[in-house]
Amino acid sequence: MNILLTGGAGFIGYQWCRRLAAKGHKVVVLDNLSAGPKPKFPAGVRFIKGDILRPDDVSRAFEFGPFDRIDHLAAESSVPLSSKSPLSGFENNVLGTVYLLEACRLHHVPEFLFTSSSTVYGRAAVPTPEEAPFSPASNYGASKAAAECYVMSYARIYGFRARILRLANIIGPTATKGVMAELRAKLSKNRKMLKILGDGTQAKSFLPVEDALDLFEIVLEKSTESVGIYNIGSGKMTTIREIADAVCRDMDCHPVYAFSKTRGGWSGDVEEMNLSVKKVAELKKR
């Protein structure tokens, strides 16, 4: 397949790019490098430095089509930043997605993969199934929910297949965002005191990136729905204190923990998150 991958220089996107290339797919990466410097891509991967918010950059990418699928992983993924700068999240996550969907329509791309987020559910009962309604507690969650709606409507109106993956907290050694990366960064500066956002009892689902990509592949290979929506998570919760303990063990340090006075760590934080993974587990059995 010939695949256009947005966000292919980011944490999840780069690992997905490597996997696609290893399976023999042709991959064109479109990324503005906002997450960091350009990584070393596998041989044969074509990289275009560009922004999904610039239609001319998207058009440049389509010069290397026609594409069999668009894998849209580019996003502004910070919940705290979405509170401080709500327009940035709207532009990157909603408007940028619509620009890609419009390109998908105009160029007759038959399939669209979109990585969404558990934040679309907000403070929902756990474990949360795909049927749970949107109730975002953050601007980031709202932007992902809005983008999902556009993916669904475009797919149904213009007749291409769509896969929407609602991700839990995806972790890995090369991650530069998220609680584990933040804790490591703090400990690298101060190994005696570790400030932890929230009271440490927040409980969430964490999934290693390679396990997440395994589920990406299962959805793409086995899902037959015209619009398929799947939770991608571990099916279990781990507290932030347990995460801190694990990071400290790994870094061989024993700091004093300094917790916040509130349970939530920031505006829009969801104190408990655990996605039901029954649907993707059933798909795996096929």
What DSSP line would sit under 117-184, residue for residue? EGGGS-S--SSBPTTSPP--SSHHHHHHHHHHHHHHHHHHHHT-EEEEEEE-EEE-TT--SSHHHHHH
Q: How many residues does the chain have?
A: 286
Dihedral over Cα of 199, 127, 75, 25: its sign: positive
List the one residue out of 148, 155, 114 whose CA is nearest residue 133.
148
What domains are defined for the chain?
2-170+205-232 (3.40.50.720), 173-204+237-274 (3.90.25.10)
Answer whether 256's CB lies under 8 Å from 224's CB. no
Set 14, 140, 154, 230: catalytic member: 140
In tens digits, the chain (286 residues) has pLDDT values of 999 999 999 999 999 999 999 999 999 999 999 989 999 999 999 999 999 999 999 999 999 999 999 999 999 988 888 888 889 999 999 999 999 999 999 999 999 999 999 999 999 999 999 999 999 999 999 999 999 999 999 999 999 999 999 999 999 988 988 899 999 999 999 999 999 999 999 999 999 999 999 999 999 999 999 999 999 999 999 999 999 999 999 999 999 999 998 898 878 899 999 999 999 999 999 8
Annotated catalytic, 158? no
Alpha carbons 87 and 75: distance in angstroms, whole number: 13
Alpha carbons 12 and 214: distance in angstroms, whole number: 12
Q: Which tokens hold the place of 123?
A: 């403070």
**Cβ contacts of residue 248 below 8 Å, gap of 6+?**
187, 194, 254, 255
pTM as predicted: 0.95
Question: 3-state SS of 214-264?
Answer: HHHHHHHHHCCCCEEEEEECCCCCEEHHHHHHHHHHHHCCCCEEEECCCCC
Amino acid at site 107: H
Q: Specify which residues 116 forms β-bridges with.
A: 166
